[in-house]
Amino acid sequence: MLHPRLRRSLLYVPGNMPSMLQNIPIFPSDVCIIDLEDAVPRTEKDAARLLSRRFIEGYTQRNKELYVRINGLDTPYFRDDLAQILPAMPDGIRLPKCEHPSHLRRIDDLLTEFEEYLGCEIGRFKIIASVESAQGILNVNETARASERLVALGFSAEDYTANLQIDRPKTGEHLVVPRQLLLMACRAAGIQAIDTVWADASDQEGFRRECEHIKVLGFDGKSLINPRQIDVLHDVMAPKPEEIDYALQVVDAIRGAREQGTGVVSLGGKMIDAPVVARAVRVLLSAKSLGLVDTDIDERVIYGDADA
């Protein structure tokens, strides 16, 4: 079953900027992504790797998921990125320019080699990959299934529009097709879908409208470039009171069924199946992160466990 981990907000943090890195523990985003790619000039890649590594090593009281965006497989930098960063044990890698399933398989193999070298569990390092071109969108269905490590696919509108040789109006009508294709591929593969960044950090109203749009489409989250965007996004993604109420009823029904030792869960005469459970858990995790409920999610109760 899809683990309904909350990934609403994925904040990029430049890997060569201490003033931003050391705020990672207090940024209220669900995920921080330390960026070694676009945010770091070529001449500073070495220093950014070292700085990011030392920061991650010292960030032992992790309070959010931590990914590192490495440089693309078409650059001379990604191997050194992995070699420097993985020993510090981030949760995973954000892979840019993932335009073909073979890109994911290649990085998956490399991560396995590092896990063997580092003596950690195979599969420990997760991947969130970015689709950034027309070819990437056309291949997205296969890409979404190319690695067990892949927890989400992200869409990058900046590179996509450049690849299509079009402008990027804020209204987003030119992004309808790639967003829908990426979203459907993610849903079909049982992984999460992450929308593109909103580049104009000064336009909070435009940002809010885009957040509302991608929520309607069904995206799980959005990549962010500015900490000021986090609260707006979380506010838009907040579940409605009736959603929270229904989710609480679902969890109660599961708990009741577990106590009676039955695997069949029903609520109001309707059977509750796995997607409904996953949605209820996501709603409650989101509500809890915003202080709207104080219900703890016990996975053993939710997913069934002999000891629960």
Partner 1 sequence: MRINKKAQAGTMQSSDLIVFVEPADDLAIEIESTVQQQFGHLIEARVKQVLKRLSVEQCRIMVSDRGALDYAIDARVEAALRRAN
Question: What residues make contact with partner 1 under the rule CB under 8 A?
Answer: 16-19, 22, 46-47, 50-51, 53-55, 57-58
Contact 227, 14 (CB under 8 A): no
DSSP class of residue 196 equals P
Shortest approach of partner 1 to residue 65 CB, angstroms? 20
Nearer residue to partner 1 within complex by CB, 43 or 165: 43
Q: Which is nearer to partner 1, 54 or 228 (CB)?
A: 54
Structure tokens at 232: 């707006």
What's the CA gap between 102 and 95, in Å, rounded?
12
Minimum gap (Å) between residue 88 Cβ and partner 1: 11
Tokens found for residue 143: 């890409």
**Rounded to whole angstroms, what are the CA distances from 286 to 1, 135, 221?**
19, 34, 11
Structure tokens at 51: 């700085």
Closer to partner 1 by CB, 14 or 96: give it: 14
Report the 10 Å Cβ neighbour count for 46. Answer: 13
Residue 48 beta carbon to partner 1: minimum distance, rounded to whole angstroms: 9
Which is nearer to partner 1, 12 or 55 (by Cβ)? Answer: 55
Q: Shortest gap between Cβ of 21 and partner 1 (angstroms)?
A: 8
Going by DSSP bridges, is the β-strand pair 126-131/92-95 parallel, antiparallel, or unpaired?
parallel
Least distance from C-beta 249 to partner 1, angstroms?
47
Backbone dihedral region for residue 112 (phi beyond 0: left; psi -120 to 50: alpha; all else: beta): alpha
Residue among 80 and 298 whose Cβ is closer to partner 1 = 80
